[in-house]
Amino acid sequence: MKTIRVEVKGGKATFDFEGFAGDSCSDEEKTIRLFLGQLGVKTDEESTEKKTDPEAVRLVERERA
Amino acid sequence: MSSIVMLRVALDTPDLIADLLSQLQVINPAMAQFIQSLDPIPLIKECAQNTIDFLASESLTGIKKQDFVSNGRINTSTWDGVPLIGALSHYKFPDGVGVLVMADGAIKFVADDGRDYCGRIDYITRLFKEAFTAQAIKTILEIMDYQVVLNQRLENNTVVASLEGVKL
């Protein structure tokens, strides 16, 4: 299961991706940002914090096995 | 890997961001093609309408929905031949601010700013932009097959939106 949580406040949108294996969350973020541009919502990435999601790591290890 | 990404957002004319498009064409060509061929205007209009409905439903904003803007003498529901998506008024600014989606997809606001004594135009348009962003993200996630729950509220004169999208 993949989950995206988004907080929009004061002209900023914060995305939190869970359950994405490897760099697939980054691919999903790019898709959303491209879509947003098509709807006229311009975005600049302000900061990105990567963190290890134990479930995602397990998924990757399972795929490799 | 989980990633938290913070974006600064602003409303503008629809645009395919070239570097993101070229990256997505490598990662997911079918999705890139789909986004490229998408007509954004109906989606923008739907999001704008939902945004107006949300702001009018929040009693804390003091905002009401109407289908015209006024200059105190004449009410109009069009601007330069373009029909308003809707308009938002405030008890301190009953003339209202009209919302237009132009032929190029840009969202424009129209109002008689000469009669805006309390800075309500800026207040209404700022809340609109904040709420529209949340509506746009909800629409996008739904197109991407997520089951989405959107909660929006007003806190300290700012729209605060929480979305959760789940894909099995």
CA dihedral B8, B28, B43, B161 (to 10 degrees): -40
The stretch B10-32 carries a mean pLDDT of 89
Tokens representing residue A56 in the block: 């995602």
Phi (first) and psi of residue A31, to 5 degrees: -60, -45
Phi (first) and psi of residue A64, to 5 degrees: -70, -35
Q: Is the CB of A42 inside 8 Å of chain B's CB atoms? A: yes
DSSP labels, B45-88? HHHHHHHHHHHHH-GGGTEEEES-EE-SS-EESEETTEEPSEEE
Contact B163 A8 (CB under 8 A): yes
CA distance A7 to B86: 26
Interface of B with A in 59-98 (CB under 8 A): none
Q: Is the CB of A61 inside 8 Å of chain B's CB atoms? A: no
**Which among A2, A6, A18 has CB closest to B137?**
A6
Q: Which residues have a Cβ under 8 Å from the Cβ of B116 and sit 6 or more positions away?
A: B93, B95
Q: B121 vs chain A: nearest CA distance in angstroms?
A: 17
Q: Is residue B31 over pLDDT 90?
A: yes
CA distance A12 to B144: 21
Contact B2 A7 (CB under 8 A): no
Averaged confidence pLDDT in chain A? 79
Percentage of chain B modeled with pLDDT above 90: 64
- Which positions in chain A touch B160 (Cβ < 8 Å)? 7-9
Q: What is the reported pTM? A: 0.87
Give me the interface pTM, i.e. the ipTM. Answer: 0.87
